[in-house]
Amino acid sequence: MRKLISGNEAIAQGAWEAGVVFAAGYPGTPSTEVLENLARYEEIDAHWSTNEKVAFDEGVGAALGGARTMVTMKHVGLNVAADSFMVFPYAGTNAGFVTLVADDPGMYSSQNEQDSRYFAKMAKVPVLEPADAAEAKEMIKTAFELSEQFQTPVMFRITTRLAHTRGVVEPDERTEAPRKEFSRKVSQYAIPVYARFRRPELEQKLESLRQYAEEFEGNVEEEGDPQIGVVTHGIPYQYVKEVAPEATVFKLGMTYPLPQKRLTEFCARFETVFVIEESEGFIQQEMASFGILNVIGKERFTNIGELSTDLIAAGLKGTTTPTDLSQETTILPRPPVMCPGCAHRGVFSTLKKMGVLVTGDIGCYTLGCLPPFQAMHTTFCMGASIGNATGFNRAGEDQVVGVIGDSTFLHGGVPSLLSAVYNQVPTTMILLDNGTTGMTGQQQHPGTGHTLKGGEAPAVNYEELIRSLGVEHVKVIDPWDLEATETAIESALSHPGPAVVIAQRACTLLPEEKAKTRVAYRVENDECIVCEECMDMGCPALVWEDGFPYVREWECVGCSLCGQICVVDAIQPVEEM
């Protein structure tokens, strides 16, 4: 039966059909739903790992152990896994091993743009790229066959648009992949000792993959107008078909290594060929290395942001598209905000008041750098906050706080805190423990007490963990209590050694939190002096109406922060009024 499913769901469906047995990953938009959907199949052992490198290493073990394996991550997750990603190809895999990497051109939910295909080239690993959900489901099966045929890990690269677009898919049955025996061949798997012997073999394997690319069925030439030639791949293929249905198109399903002979012959037929690809000019540069130079690519179709039908129409046909109406009317920005009752609000309201320097990290709380708080001054990548705070401290800044979420702390923060302890730097850290991986949609992690498949699990005790690292000053507070929050941060900052404040309060979007009965707050207009302090809490449940702040009671979860901030106690719980 035809189903309407997202690219991410289709990949999980295809991997299940391909007989995948083990899957691991770390949440990261836009890749998250692949593993979440893999976990729904009882035949697949899927779990969240503490970070992407751990997931990759677990995957390597599973694939060598003979189980078809998939690991999932976003582009910046591959940076974390890069050490393993670069070395594993020297050994080669036993059972099929596919790394699903989701790039985010346009940075809808990422700190940078990266074209992961460069990583694949550096590691000498083949790359497959599907163009929609239906193709993704079939191509993932090809990826496993390719992996086993050449004993190579395979990169399956998607982008946000493919991941999050639903399309029509026809599900098939699962074909079991029997477990493959592992032979203890030290000369193949103990890489540092034998790498120099493996190195030429890796090159030979790449040469075989180049031959494979010439015959690969996913590299398709679609005949059309003999005057208009386009080389494209993935989602941009869809845009090209829309803008120039008449064109002769070479659609690449395998973008590394490229079919040099076929591309050379194809391009020789045209005066100029358009190379239209998402992110960097990777295909274009490879083609240039083959001596194919009658090409227009990134000089016309930008490498900044996400491509679109409109951008390609402009580049191919010179068409213009309507601009928005902001010149004629008021289109106020509507940036994402912390939810009503968000546990982070109390911490950032306090940090703003204290005026300290804040090094931040990756999570919903990164919103702390935006109005109304603007109380986060640096943010780079997973786990960076603590090391950054230690560094600022060494430069002479003593009023600095590193702020990190629970999932991020376990992912990449623990070694940084240990470094501060070891080097006796008085780093101050706030652990925002909201009991979930919030930003990516409430995933489980080693601190939540549950697994991806819904089972019970031991939950990290943060206070014990942090004390065991050697931090002597640890204080647990509820960030819905502004006074306690401020006192704890002040005391941590004045402590002569490393100090940690654990701000503990569950994410309000967790089902068990949503189910709680809440007492909403209300503004008593007679008491209100219209100082607007409460409005600076940036709460979506508190709006400006008819000259007064007004609590939208159906959105209020009763966190009481607006009431605590009110200097005349004009905001009170509804039942007490």
Partner 1 sequence: MAVTNVLIAGVGGQGAVLVSELLAQAALSAGNDVKQGEFHGVAQRGGAVFSHVRYGDRVYSPVARQGEVDYLLALEKLEALRYAHFLRPDGTIIVNDHKVEPIRTGDERPYPDDAIEFLQGKGFKVLAAKATEMAIEMGNHRAANVVLLGALSGLIDIPLEVWESTLERLPERILALNQQAFAAGRQL
Using CA atoms, how far residue 293 sits from 25, 249, 283, 296, in Å, is 40, 17, 12, 9
Interatomic CA distance for residues 511 and 448, integer angstroms: 13
Choose between 178 and 441: whose C-beta lies nearer to partner 1.
441
Choose between 8 and 116: whose C-beta lies nearer to partner 1.
8
Which amino acid is residue 376, in one-letter code?
M
Tokens of 78: 């591959």
DSSP assignment, residue 456?
Answer: B
Residues 6+ apart with CB under 8 A from 46: 22, 23, 24, 35, 38, 39, 452, 453
Choose between 110 and 116: whose C-beta lies nearer to partner 1.
110
The contact set with partner 1 (CB under 8 A) reads: 2, 4, 6, 29, 108-109, 132, 161, 164-168, 235, 238-239, 241-242, 308-310, 313, 321-325, 328-339, 364, 366-367, 370-372, 438-439, 441, 509, 535-536, 538, 540, 543-545, 554
Number of residues that make up the chain: 577
Interatomic CA distance for residues 98 and 181, integer angstroms: 18
Interatomic CA distance for residues 386 and 374, integer angstroms: 19
How far apart are CB 338 and partner 1 at their closest, in Å?
A: 7
CB 497 within 8 A of CB 473: yes
Choose between 225 and 545: whose C-beta lies nearer to partner 1.
545
Interatomic CA distance for residues 304 and 278, integer angstroms: 9
How far apart are CB 287 and partner 1 at their closest, in Å?
A: 24
Choose between 201 and 532: whose C-beta lies nearer to partner 1.
532
How far apart are CB 161 and partner 1 at their closest, in Å?
A: 6
Choose between 293 and 332: whose C-beta lies nearer to partner 1.
332
Tokens of 496: 């002569």
How far apart are CB 332 and partner 1 at their closest, in Å?
A: 5
How far apart are CB 329 and partner 1 at their closest, in Å?
A: 5
Interatomic CA distance for residues 82 and 211, integer angstroms: 27
Residues 6+ apart with CB under 8 A from 115: 103, 279, 280, 282
Which amino acid is residue 502, in one-letter code?
I
Choose between 77 and 89: whose C-beta lies nearer to partner 1.
77
Secondary structure of 352-413 in HEC code, one letter for each residue: HHHCCEEECCCCHHHHHHCCCCCCCCECCCCCHHHHHHHHHHHCCCCCEEEEEEHHHHHHHH
Using CA atoms, how far residue 469 sits from 420, 449, 460, 499, 526, in Å, is 10, 21, 14, 11, 53
Element (H, E) at 99: strand 97-103
Choose between 241 and 262: whose C-beta lies nearer to partner 1.
241
How far apart are CB 164 and partner 1 at their closest, in Å?
A: 5
How far apart are CB 189 and partner 1 at their closest, in Å?
A: 40
Choose between 211 and 319: whose C-beta lies nearer to partner 1.
319
Choose between 28 and 229: whose C-beta lies nearer to partner 1.
28
How far apart are CB 132 and partner 1 at their closest, in Å?
A: 7
CB 3 within 8 A of CB 171: yes
How far apart are CB 436 and partner 1 at their closest, in Å?
A: 11
How far apart are CB 441 and partner 1 at their closest, in Å?
A: 7
Choose between 336 and 455: whose C-beta lies nearer to partner 1.
336
How far apart are CB 407 and partner 1 at their closest, in Å?
A: 14
Residue/partner pairs of 509-515 with CB below 8 Å, 24 or more apart = 509/339, 509/438, 509/442, 510/435, 510/436, 510/442, 513/557
